[in-house]
Structure 1
Amino acid sequence: MVGRLLLLLAVLTTRQLAGAAAASSSSSKVVTRLPGFQGRLPFHLETGYVEVDEDNGTELFYYFIESEAGTEDAPFLLWLTGGDHCTVFSGLAFEIGPVKFVVEPYSGTTPRLEINPHSWTKVANILFVDTPVGAGFSFSRRPQGYHVGEVSTSLQLHEFLIKWIGDHPKFLSSPLYIGGDSYAGKIVPFITQKISEGNEVGRRPLLNLKGYLVGNPATGERIDESSKVPFAHGFGIISDQLYETILGHCQGQDYKNPTSVLCAKALGTFHSLLSEVMLAHILREKCVFSSAGPHAETGDSAASASRKILNEEEAVIVTGKRVKHPPPRVSLGCYSYTAYLSYFWANDALTRDALGIKDGTVDEWVRCHSGDLPYAVDIGSSIRYHRNVTANGYRALVYIMVLSAERLNLAGICIGVGSGDHDAVVPHLGTQAWVRSLGFPIVDQWRAWHLDDQSAGFTISYSNNMTFATVKGAGHTAPQYERCYAMFSRWILDQPL
């Protein structure tokens, strides 16, 4: 890992001295065609860069898709993805964007794309940003620019929004929402608070901030980890005896770093049993994650090992681009197969040309950096920011996937880190617990919400404008999952679920 980072920094320094990357504070391009998609795009796509750190030449890459509703008052959503160093293209192509990959065996040619009939862009303008720097096509001309963390990245995103909307004044009055899933769900409320504070002190342009939404979000709190134990017990993964032992010996301890020998032993047994199932969905067969992120579950060990044994001689040639670190081979029936395809699509020379990627900036696109870039975890807990922002009157939607959920932006399922009732990564028990801990009165009791006269999930609303919702079902991929779109469109348009 250290070796790859040093190599990356050396290459970047060489390019900086050689002047390989053009110096530009911002740039954009209207994209009318994409490799793998037949014909012209039936939606407005703009890509480009915004400089957020002039000293280091840090530029964040974005994809902007204008609302297909065609209305002037359509909501505006800034969307972030999990990771922490995963490309936002995962959110665009696997979750909420207007295109998705055709699931078919990779043949060495550009993977094909098709329309997602349940894209969130049908009701909202969505700005997808590769963040933090180093994710996707975002880059820095100086090695120091890659030394960022949760706080500095959030401030860069605020700077990004100020500049981007300043360059696109037609969206200045659009209702603004900040959204994200998985690990990004941890920093979304923090960014929202910073934007609110910027408006209060008169930073211009004033952003028309209305609220935020997070899908199965991590919080940084112990509850994310400790809730796995009652979850596993409830599903019969661990025995009554082990459950009682953990409760008896681990009370008040950090489950990731237990101080008691007896607690550590019990948790070791717990994790061994939990590793027998797919954490993202305990009913599914375990599957290798394609280009998994640094917070990967046990299934990622195989992915890591697979990548380590690949050397320069085994690199794959993709339409004139050398893929130096191919992702683990994934079987066609695996839910992460589309993530596997994305690797070859994004490294295609035709794709880079279509997207307007700057030469000499990102040598090789990877879906997620596996911990090989620095990133400071300096937001201890996001819960206080949830409380602060909603107490100031901003709307909030916290939702979880029920029956099937995912994390880290892997291909498939409706947005998220996994708090569904078959997901063991950040179980729904923990999510509900911290929402209740905010202490706001209930204004609309727990009830079902419906789609086509059937229960689509359950929801509860609080006096601080926070809505908690579950999305029921076992959809394989988010683009095929209508309930997710129905939940979002109703909430973002301020309609009852």
Structure 2
Amino acid sequence: MIFADLPTGVGFSYAKTWEASRSSDSLLVLQCYEFIQKWLVEHPRFLNNPFYMSGISYYGLVIPAATLETYNGNQHGNQPQVNIKGCIYVSPLTDKFSDFNSRLEFAHRFALISDDIYESTKETCNGNYINSNPDNILCLYNLQRIDECTSGLNIGNILDPVCDAANPEPTCFAAADIYLGYWANNKVVQKALHVREGTIETWHKSNYSLQYDMNKEDTVYYSYDIFSSVDDHRQLVARNSQVLIINGDHDMNFPYIGTEQWIKSLDLPTESPWKPWFASNQVAGYRTRYAKNGYTLTYATIKGAGHVVALNKPKEAFSMVDEWLSTHSYLNDA
């Protein structure tokens, strides 16, 4: 497994010039492909291993295009050839309209808003809940009612409390960030990770100058120039790609509803119907599988997980990925 700190400014990555510190979604696509090619040149014994590109959250916009770039590079004869097999997405942002827009449906299904608020908002906002007409007073009123009902929630996982990030309770997931900072800024740890001394003053879990939020404008450091990756997914169908998508069913950041909507738009035949899957003899979530020619898409939810699935439900997340890789001949081909 390879972890890459991308774009520049994330994790332990750094740039020597201001120009090199600037990036964008589309540039990140090229950097992902360039990175794996350079890595394989330095580690040629892994050339025949099946390769799956993966990413979480905002990378749901980038990884499909980066996967396509890898397929295209192979087709054009670029060396080294990457034994690309498919991709894995967890809690992905795939379309900046439909994913954010699906929060209304999510709030209604989880009884965070009443039937009355839901129906009234649908009627007055005409299906658009994120770019509402400022002259539409009734729509704005209903959106305000929704905000009153949901603003006090932890939208990363609606089951979790809202924590004081500066002084979190030990039971809050935010407390883990403090200890993670202690670990990542330890010089012994950085030496073990081969972090170049002097390149990073202080490691931070998030670079807020890059972090995306709904309708965020481009910054001097980053251009958010990919709006949707749905068309990239359509092109992956023709590449006979193997795809796994995982959503925590309590994630309101990018709800499972939005994911299901764009998957439906691909118009794929269902190979395996919706059914529960198990970990440690307990229902861990639900999944379905689509297939067309040599292409497959497995979509799975993890019960009780939020946006950071691996943190909320590590055993279940590992179980799903491990099983999926095993059934795609990963262990036999490696």
Per the normalisation by structure 2, the TM-score is 0.87
Distance 1:448-1:228 versus aligned 2 partners, 3 A rule: same
CA distance in 2, matches of 1:229, 1:473: 19
Distance 1:495-1:172 versus aligned 2 partners, 3 A rule: closer
Contact 1:192 1:212 in 2 (8 A): yes
Measure how far apart 1:238 and its partner are. Answer: 1.6
For residue 290 of structure 2, the aligned residue among 448, 462, 465 is 462
Tell me the alpha carbon deviations over residues 96-119 of structure 1, each in whole angstroms, 9 at most, x when there is no partner: xxxxxxxxxxxxxxxxxxxxxxxx
Measure how far apart 1:428 and its partner are. Answer: 1.4
Once the two structures are superposed, the pairs formed by residues 271-350 of structure 1 within 5 Å of their partners are 271-289=147-165, 328-350=166-188
Paired position in structure 2 for 1:249: 124
Paired position in structure 1 for 2:214: none
Contact 1:227 1:430 in 2 (8 A): yes
CA distance in 1, matches of 2:312, 2:125: 41
Paired position in structure 1 for 2:327: 494
CA distance in 1, matches of 2:264, 2:113: 27
CA distance in 2, matches of 1:220, 1:429: 12
Paired position in structure 2 for 1:207: 82
CA distance in 2, matches of 1:213, 1:495: 12
Q: Does 1:438 align with 2:266?
A: yes
> What is the aligned residue count?
313
Q: Does 1:481 align with 2:319?
A: no
Measure how far apart 1:149 and its partner are. Answer: 0.6
Per the normalisation by structure 1, the TM-score is 0.60
For residue 144 of structure 2, the aligned residue among 252, 256, 268 is 268
Tell me the alpha carbon deviations over residues 243-265 of structure 1, each in whole angstroms, 9 at most, x when there is no partner: 12211121143x33311432233
Paired position in structure 1 for 2:303: 472
Contact 2:28 2:62 in 1 (8 A): no
Contact 2:290 2:298 in 1 (8 A): yes
Paired position in structure 1 for 2:245: 398
Q: Does 1:144 align with 2:19?
A: yes
In the alignment, structure 2 segments of 5+ residues that lack a partner are 211-219, 330-334
Once the two structures are superposed, the pairs formed by residues 70-149 of structure 1 within 5 Å of their partners are 126-149=1-24
In the alignment, structure 1 segments of 5+ residues that lack a partner are 1-125, 290-327, 402-419
Contact 2:305 2:312 in 1 (8 A): no
For residue 132 of structure 2, the aligned residue among 227, 251, 258 is 258
Distance 1:264-1:378 versus aligned 2 partners, 3 A rule: same
Which amino acid is the alignment partner of residue 241 of structure 1?
D
Contact 1:390 1:396 in 2 (8 A): no
Contact 2:6 2:13 in 1 (8 A): yes
Which amino acid is the alignment partner of residue 335 of structure 1?
F
CA distance in 2, matches of 1:275, 1:202: 51
The structure with the largest helix share of the pair is 2
Tell me the alpha carbon deviations over residues 333-353 of structure 1, each in whole angstroms, 9 at most, x when there is no partner: 211211111112222232233
CA distance in 1, matches of 2:305, 2:71: 37
Which amino acid is the alignment partner of residue 50 of structure 2?
P
Q: Does 1:427 align with 2:255?
A: yes
Measure how far apart 1:474 and its partner are. Answer: 5.9
Residue 192 of structure 1 aligns to a residue whose secondary structure is: helix
Paired position in structure 2 for 1:170: 45
Tell me the alpha carbon deviations over residues 382-407 of structure 1, each in whole angstroms, 9 at most, x when there is no partner: 11111111231010011112xxxxxx
Measure how far apart 1:453 and its partner are. Answer: 3.9
Residue 434 of structure 1 aligns to a residue whose secondary structure is: helix
Distance 1:271-1:353 versus aligned 2 partners, 3 A rule: same
Residue 212 of structure 1 aligns to a residue whose secondary structure is: strand
Measure how far apart 1:127 and its partner are. Answer: 0.3
